[in-house]
Amino acid sequence: MEEYSGQSRIEGYSGQNRIEGYSGQNRIEGYSGQNRIEEYSGQNRMEEYLGQNRIEGYSGQNRMEEYSEQSRIEGYSGQNRMEEYSGQSRIEGYSRQNRMEGYSGQSRIEGYSGQNRMEGYSGQNRMEGYSGQNRMVGYSDRTEWRDI
């Protein structure tokens, strides 16, 4: 936020903080050290964490919504596992190694591009409408499909 010093995210923070008037890796208001409440910085597990977090609005290895980097929920960027992930995700709207619908890269659901395992994949897929090394109906390349 405004008037931050270091990797902070709130006003008047010093260091990697995410609350007001925090110093160090804290997780509560006015905490000093490795704490475990909301608006923490570092390896946290709540909302709006920065670093290895696991809730919404995290940055780093998170596991909830709106994560950035290795996350696992919606709106993640990196190794995520939910919708609208960017990177190695596993849900819808992922980019890179995903595993759900609308993924790009090594995905495993519908509408994947790359090594996928569902319908509408491009690359090494394993479902219908694949292009490349597939194993279902209507494949192009090395396929083992049959007319259903």
Q: Are residues 79 and 31 in the same domain?
A: no
pLDDT band at 9 (very low <50, low <70, confident <90, very high): very low
pLDDT band at 33 (very low <50, low <70, confident <90, very high): very low
- 61 domain residue, yes or no: no
Query: For residue 37, is pLDDT > 50?
Result: no
Q: Are residues 29 and 98 in the same domain?
A: no
Q: Are residues 20 and 87 in the same domain?
A: no
pLDDT band at 26 (very low <50, low <70, confident <90, very high): very low
- 62 domain residue, yes or no: no
Q: Are residues 32 and 75 in the same domain?
A: no
- 2 domain residue, yes or no: yes
Cα 106 from Cα 114, distance rounded (Å): 5
pLDDT band at 114 (very low <50, low <70, confident <90, very high): very low
- 4 domain residue, yes or no: yes
Q: Are residues 44 and 114 in the same domain?
A: no
pLDDT band at 147 (very low <50, low <70, confident <90, very high): low
Q: Are residues 77 and 138 in the same domain?
A: yes
Q: Print the domain residue range for 106.
A: 70-148
Q: Are residues 46 and 89 in the same domain?
A: no
* Number of structural domains the chain divides into: 2
- 134 domain residue, yes or no: yes
Q: What is the mean pLDDT of the chain?
A: 41
